[in-house]
Amino acid sequence: MQRLLAGLRHVPNWWQLGRFLTVGASGFAINIVVYAVLVHPLAIPYVAAAVVSNVVALSSNFALNRRWTFEATHGRRRLQAPRFAIVSVGGFGVNLFVLRICVEALGVPKLPAEVIASAIAAPVNFLGSRQWAFRRRRAALEEPT
């Protein structure tokens, strides 16, 4: 609990969260635009549209989060990319679960349901990205003595 409270008081963590949310907002916009085009004019089933739109958004989010949010150029892209993909799949699992509940059980229209699902999945993606996908190794953070 003390570690959590210390993390909440550490101002750079809040800036990092702000950058993550900005990247997430751009990915969200990409996701929603692609999803809307696939579902409405192209009449692709909403679950397939969600898969495609999330993959497109995932690509841009990886590049922006790696470079800007987490400044993770210290690591190898070939190690970070699969980790980021795994975290994103977990977040997408949450997204898809909430999307289906909203549409099928609650009768929420498809587009607002995707908005709700994306908002609920965001914390899963942030914590996974920060703590695992782009985590800095302790040795990389310490100055040589």
pLDDT of residue 7: 62
Q: Which residue has the tokens 């990319």?
A: 81
- Cβ neighbours for 59, distance < 8 A, ≥ 6 positions apart: none
b or e along 105-127 (b: 16 or more beta carbons within 10 Å of the residue's beta carbon)? eeebebeebbbbbbebbbebbbe
Per-residue pLDDT of the chain (145 residues; tens, 9 = 90+): 666 666 667 788 888 888 998 998 999 899 999 999 999 999 999 999 999 998 899 889 999 999 999 888 776 888 899 999 999 889 989 999 999 999 999 999 999 999 999 889 888 888 899 889 998 765 444 444 3
Q: What is the pLDDT of residue 122?
A: 84
pLDDT of residue 54: 85
Which of 94, 112, 93 has the alpha carbon at shortest distance from 103?
112
Kindly list the distances between the CA atom of residue 97 and the CA atoms of 38, 74, 104, in Å, as whole numbers in the listed order.
20, 34, 11
For residue 21, give both structure tokens: 């949310």
The predicted pLDDT at position 141 comes to: 47
Cα–Cα distance for residue pair 44/131, rounded to 1 Å = 35
Alpha-carbon distance values, 23 to 51, 68, 101, 102 (Å): 19, 9, 26, 25
Distance CA 3, CA 52 (A): 38
Predicted local distance difference test score (pLDDT) of residue 123: 84
Distance CA 138, CA 141 (A): 5
